[in-house]
Amino acid sequence: MLKSKKAWLFGLVALLIVGFYLLGFKQYVDLSFLKEKSDEFNAYNTANPWLTSLWFFVIYVVSTAISIPGASILTLVGGAVFGLFWGVVLVSFASTIGASFAFLLSRYVFKETVQKKFSDKLTDINAGFEKEGALYLFTLRLIVVIPFWLVNFLMGLTPMKLRTYFWVSQLGMFPATILFVNAGTQLAKVEQMSDILSPAVAVSFALLGVFPLFVRSVPSIVRRYKVLKAYKKPKTFDYNLVVIGGGSAGLVSSYIAAAVKAKVLLIEKSKMGGDCLNTGCIPSKSLIKSSRFLADLTRSERYGIKSVSAEFEFSDVMERVSSVIKQVEPHDSVERYSELGVVCIQGEARVVSPWEVVVDDKKVTSQNIIIATGAKPRVPNIEGLDQVCYYTSDTIWSLRERPKNLLVVGAGSIGCELGQSFSRLGCKVTMVDIAERVLLQEDEGAAALLMSQLESEGVELKLRYSIDSFSVENNQQIATLKTNQGNSLKVIFDAVLFSIGREANIEGFGLEQLGVQLTQSGNIDVDKYMRTSVPTIYACGDVAGPYQFTHTAAHYAWYSTVNSLFGDIWRFKADDRVIPRVTFTEPEIASVGYNEQSAQAAGLLTETTVFKLSELDRAIVDGKTEGFIKVLTVVGKDKILGVIIVGEHAGEMLPEFVLAMKHGLGLNKILGTIHAYPTWAEANKYIAGIWKKNHKPEKLLKLLERYHLAKRT
């Protein structure tokens, strides 16, 4: 009903505009016609002053409201007939009221559709308009070459308030109104429209319009000047870009810079590849592979094999982890990057000015610097820590002897992945976390499945506990755990692994001296363009956060590099709308966007659709039916807000949803895509099918039922 009303209104306005041209009204909004008739207009006005003003006002409002051309001619009429003062009063209010009607018309007919269709792309624009829309509108109004009707139409699509629109338009159009009304008072002298608005006057107005935008950017220009003025800018530079840190973020940054032919220096103080290759993703996933293999053997009966036994040495598994790192190493090596055109230096970098970095007592200059120094595992300050054998994700890979009892502190992704793996490799694992469940950021149902799996495998979960102290008694290492309620218990262990988070590497290499600002959580504070508070320095990866993944490090590295190299010409805002995450436990947990808890916390009304993997043929064939897919959508709409997949291959099934969310595709599109049978990815189609079934067109189906009945009888 609403849609048809909009269509009618749109049709009516279109008809009026077309009619205006077809019926030849265009001749009346012409300078020569105005000149010819100006005496008649004046005579009518002298005889009926109020009526003339009223007619003029109404005609002006209506013609601008429905975007009929001729506003400038009408404005001249205002001056010619009513004189400067009264002409300006009439035109100023009539044009603003007419513009406001056009704005409302555009908003009513198009805004909802445009905002819905381009919702993802418009988020930033909407936010910008809510904050600074008045400024933009003021500028547009003063750039008189931009058609009046176009501004009305476009502004109607934004979230700007009508009140703001009215007053800013009134103010922004005022200079041009005076100019045209004044010209109208001296109509005889005007031969053509360009006599009124010469290029010089148009440019002056535009400059007046751009002025507020310039004023707005003054603070950042001053800040930039203030930060940089304390340092001497080199006359020439050794490099276009210096990248500090050869982990995921630094490697991608230098790769991109070299690809676009910039001269780039990459400085790494330890091992190329950083955390992901040496102590993070690669070793942990290698360990998971071995431990998963063992776990699969224990399930041989599922596959009709009575029993399978495995013999293994813990140290061999850990050696394999090292050998996998070695196999991947060439991908991130100095040799490879040198071949790509990156100058690589092994050494500890120190930033000494916004353009200078010292490495091995040698100073190099660069137009821009990217900080990609990563993060390190957090180690808590607990009484007795110095007496016990403790590890972090940085050091655990040196283990060759299996700890009989392993205490894992922290049940986030890293704690769960490593805790489950070491348990499967024969350690008695106790996992401690102050939270009430594992994977606090993830979906409750997903965490519940993982917890029951961990417990079924013999991992002891001590939730709502924290470590009070460590001690050694009778040669045994003991952790005293306590709850908030004051309950305590003791756990004997041989080694403790801390997985309680990672803190940014920000100290000791010059950032403090330069005054690079940090966030509350201790990361380098960067803006949407990945710039730090020092204009020539950018940051990405774990050191900037907020996400600590290899794929986000690489993603933000692109923005840091492109903005640092080409920011003078064009800057790109980092897109952080759709970030996937995977915890490689069994069951595997992959997610993107909201889950029910985070949606509720954000005050979003969502609809949840669930598909159980036990319904999927491929899961049954593979004997891996545990798990589910959950999709959160906007109530009543085909817009995906979040997806959680729990089960085998969850991480491989997620990208279809990531793609859909990124490009604003809904479940209908997934349902209409052919998925090969029998694959795990088919589950994506099935959940889309369930959603569709829940939104079936009841009225249409009733009609079809009647249609079939009629055909039968």
Ligand X SMILES: Cc1cc2nc3c(=O)[nH]c(=O)nc-3n(C[C@H](O)[C@H](O)[C@H](O)COP(=O)(O)OP(=O)(O)OC[C@H]3O[C@@H](n4cnc5c(N)ncnc54)[C@H](O)[C@@H]3O)c2cc1C
Q: Single out the segment in contact with ligand X by CB under 6 A; choices: 228-236, 278-286, 399-407, 478-486.
A: 278-286
506 binds ligand X (CB under 6 A): no
Sheet holding 390-391, edge to edge: 390-391, 495-498, 405-409, 428-433, 460-463
Distance CA 565, CA 531 (A): 12
Q: How far is the CB of 438 from ligand X (least distance, A)?
A: 16
Nearer CB in complex with ligand X: 102/543: 543
Q: Single out the segment in contact with ligand X by CB under 6 A; choices: 274-282, 381-389, 587-595, 625-633.
A: 274-282
Distance CA 349, CA 451 (A): 43
Nearer CB in complex with ligand X: 250/642: 250
Q: How far is the CB of 557 from ligand X (least distance, A)?
A: 8
Total of chain residues touching ligand X, rule CB under 6 A: 36
- Which tokens go with 539? 């940051």
**What is the x/- site pattern for ligand X, positions 577-616, by CB under 6 A?**
-------x--------------------------------
Residue 111 phi/psi, 5° resolution? Answer: -55, -50
Nearer CB in complex with ligand X: 278/563: 278
Residue 533 phi/psi, 5° resolution? Answer: -70, -15
- Return the residue of 550, 564, 591, 633 that touches ligand X, per CB under 6 A: 550
- Return the residue of 45, 366, 423, 548 that touches ligand X, per CB under 6 A: 548
545 binds ligand X (CB under 6 A): no
Given the DSSP bridges, would you call strands 428-433 and 460-463 parallel, antiparallel or unpaired?
parallel
249 binds ligand X (CB under 6 A): yes
Distance CA 266, CA 608 (A): 47
- Return the residue of 286, 393, 536, 585 that touches ligand X, per CB under 6 A: 393
275 binds ligand X (CB under 6 A): yes
User: Which H/E stretch holds residue 502?
Assistant: strand 502-504
Tokens 């010292």 sit on residue? 358
Residue 355 phi/psi, 5° resolution? Answer: -125, 5
- Return the residue of 156, 245, 354, 647 that touches ligand X, per CB under 6 A: 245
User: Hey, which residues does 349 pair with through a beta bridge?
Assistant: 359
Nearer CB in complex with ligand X: 129/584: 584
Tokens 């003791």 sit on residue? 490
Nearer CB in complex with ligand X: 75/413: 413
Subset of residues 328 to 387 that bind ligand X, contact rule: CB under 6 A: 348-349, 372-374
148 touches 74 (CB < 8 A): no
* Contacts with 225 (C-beta within 8 Å, 6 or more apart), sequence order: none
Going by the DSSP 8-state scheme, the letter that residue 109 receives in this structure is I
Subset of residues 281 to 320 that bind ligand X, contact rule: CB under 6 A: 281, 284
Q: How far is the CB of 263 from ligand X (least distance, A)?
A: 19
Q: How far is the CB of 248 from ligand X (least distance, A)?
A: 4
Nearer CB in complex with ligand X: 64/253: 253
Subset of residues 129 to 148 that bind ligand X, contact rule: CB under 6 A: none
Q: How far is the CB of 498 from ligand X (least distance, A)?
A: 11
Q: How far is the CB of 508 from ligand X (least distance, A)?
A: 7
Query: Which residue, among 143, 141, 167, 163, has the nearest Cα to 152 in the 3D structure?
Result: 141
Q: How far is the CB of 243 from ligand X (least distance, A)?
A: 9
410 binds ligand X (CB under 6 A): no
Q: How far is the CB of 1 from ligand X (least distance, A)?
A: 49
Sheet holding 628-634, edge to edge: 580-583, 589-593, 640-646, 628-634, 606-612
Distance CA 650, CA 653 (A): 5
- Return the residue of 75, 92, 139, 248 that touches ligand X, per CB under 6 A: 248
Distance CA 280, CA 248 (A): 11
Nearer CB in complex with ligand X: 52/564: 564
- Return the residue of 79, 541, 580, 642 that touches ligand X, per CB under 6 A: 541
Q: Single out the segment in contact with ligand X by CB under 6 A; choices: 127-135, 398-406, 547-555, 609-617.
A: 547-555
For residue 194, the SS3 value is helix
Nearer CB in complex with ligand X: 147/546: 546
Nearer CB in complex with ligand X: 95/585: 585
Nearer CB in complex with ligand X: 11/522: 522
- Return the residue of 79, 247, 410, 647 that touches ligand X, per CB under 6 A: 247
Q: How far is the CB of 630 from ligand X (least distance, A)?
A: 22
274 binds ligand X (CB under 6 A): yes
**What is the x/- site pattern for ligand X, positions 450-489, by CB under 6 A?**
----------------------------------------
Distance CA 243, CA 149 (A): 49
Nearer CB in complex with ligand X: 66/646: 646
User: Long-range contacts: 45-51, Cβ < 8 Å, 24+?
Assistant: 45/81, 45/82
- Return the residue of 38, 240, 270, 608 that touches ligand X, per CB under 6 A: 270
| Burial annotation 229-247 (CB, 10 A radius, 16+ → b, else e) | eeeeeeeebbbbbbbbbbb
Distance CA 140, CA 148 (A): 9
Q: How far is the CB of 643 from ligand X (least distance, A)?
A: 18
Residue 503 burial by CB count (10 A; 0-12/13-18/19+): exposed, middle or buried? Answer: middle
Q: How many residues does the chain have?
A: 713
C-alpha torsion sign, points 242, 248, 252, 258: positive
Nearer CB in complex with ligand X: 272/481: 272
**What is the x/- site pattern for ligand X, positions 145-184, by CB under 6 A?**
----------------------------------------
- Which tokens go with 51? 């009526």
483 touches 464 (CB < 8 A): yes
| Burial annotation 511-526 (CB, 10 A radius, 16+ → b, else e) | beebebeeeeeebbbb
Q: How far is CA 607 from CA 59, 319, 447, 633, in A?
A: 50, 48, 20, 5
Q: How far is the CB of 349 from ligand X (least distance, A)?
A: 4
250 binds ligand X (CB under 6 A): yes
- Return the residue of 262, 553, 592, 644 that touches ligand X, per CB under 6 A: 553
Q: How far is the CB of 271 from ligand X (least distance, A)?
A: 6
Quickly list DSSP for 27-74. GGSSHHHHHHHHHHHHHHHHHSHHHHHHHHHHHHHHHHHTT-S-HHHH
How many Cα atoms are found within 13 Å in the side-chain-facing hemisphere of 275? 27
Report how far Cα 220 is from the mean position of its chain's Cα atoms: 23
Cis peptide before 678 (omega within 30 of 0): yes
103 binds ligand X (CB under 6 A): no
Q: How far is the CB of 461 from ligand X (least distance, A)?
A: 20
Nearer CB in complex with ligand X: 78/410: 410
Nearer CB in complex with ligand X: 481/506: 506
Nearer CB in complex with ligand X: 82/556: 556
269 binds ligand X (CB under 6 A): yes
- Which tokens go with 698? 């009841």
- Which tokens go with 451? 């917890």
For residue 447, the SS3 value is helix
* Residue with the CB atom nearest ligand X in the bound state: 247
509 binds ligand X (CB under 6 A): yes
**Residue numbers at the binding site for ligand X (CB under 6 A):** 244-250, 267-270, 274-276, 279-281, 284, 348-349, 372-374, 393, 414, 505, 509, 541-543, 548-551, 553, 584
